[in-house]
Amino acid sequence: MNKSFSMIRNARKTVVESKTGGEKVGTTKTKIEVVILGIDEGDGTVNEILQGVCKDLDIKCTSINIQEAWISDQDIEKGTLTVSNYDGKDSKEQLKISEAVVFVRRGAIMDMTGQALTSLFESAGCFMVNDLESMLLCDNKMATAIQLSRYNVSIPKTSIVNNSKSIVDAHKHIGGKFPAIVKTL
């Protein structure tokens, strides 16, 4: 069985909660800890939304700013990672690898440091909602189009251009009809 499918099945088993009329009934307390890797903070961000949902569900949530954080201790035998300066205020957070559900935001893959930190969480064995490979693939529009085509996913004719002056020529090159995707890098 594919590692990703196995991880998804295991994650689905951890959340066993139903709500009725705002009251929790038949709740089994889950042992998960949400970790958000990225740089976005503030009003209306996915980071803020995830933190709010975690607060409502009484789930521990740690937002890690990859521009500030570093792994200060990795104790695989104990199943923990210690992240230092995760909030830019010299704070430390010890995460249990088996309980960590890591959401990787786009900001986490924008430089090599963020990619290395993401890779470390992944290789340590944390459950990754978005792994490094899928994030890098989705960030590269042409690679995404090639992968979708490779697996026979129907997509409009696609061209990637490096400036807006090339759009008309690119559209003509792929047939000049719609639907078409002409995406600038």
pLDDT of residue 10: 52
- Average of per-residue pLDDT values in the chain: 81
Taking only the tens place, the pLDDT of each residue in 93-115 is: 999 999 999 999 988 888 998 89
Arithmetic mean of pLDDT, 58-71: 91
Q: Which residues contact 151 (CB under 8 A, 6 or more apart)?
A: none
DSSP string for the chain:
--HHHHHHHHHHHH---EEETTEEES------EEEEEES--STT-HHHHHHHHHHHTT-EEEEEETTT-EEEEEETTTTEEEEESTTSSS-EEEEEGGGEEEEEPGGGGSSHHHHHHHHHHHHHTPEESS-HHHHHHHH-HHHHHHHHHHTT----EEEEESSGGGHHHHHHHTTS-SSEEEEE-
* Of the candidates 63, 68, 70, 69, the residue with the CA atom closest to the CA atom of residue 42: 63
Q: Which residues contact 46 (CB under 8 A, 6 or more apart)?
A: 36, 38, 40, 103, 105
Taking only the tens place, the pLDDT of each residue in 19-32 is: 344 545 445 556 89
Name the more confident of 80 and 13: 80
pLDDT of residue 177: 82
The rounded distance, in Å, linking the Cα atoms of 65 and 50 is: 15
May I ask the CATH architecture of the domain 3-131?
Answer: 3-Layer(aba) Sandwich (3.40)
pLDDT of residue 98: 94
Taking only the tens place, the pLDDT of each residue in 139-183 is: 888 888 888 889 999 888 888 888 888 888 888 888 888 887 777
Name the more confident of 43 and 36: 36
State yes or no: pLDDT of 119 exceeds 60: yes
The rounded distance, in Å, linking the Cα atoms of 38 and 68 is: 10
Domain spans of the chain, in order of start: 3-131, 140-184
pLDDT of residue 25: 47
pLDDT of residue 33: 94
> Considering the chain, what percentage of its residues have pLDDT values greater than 70?
82
* Residue 82: both structure tokens together: 């210690």
- Binned at pLDDT 50, 70 and 90, residue 70 comes out as confident
State yes or no: pLDDT of 129 exceeds 50: yes
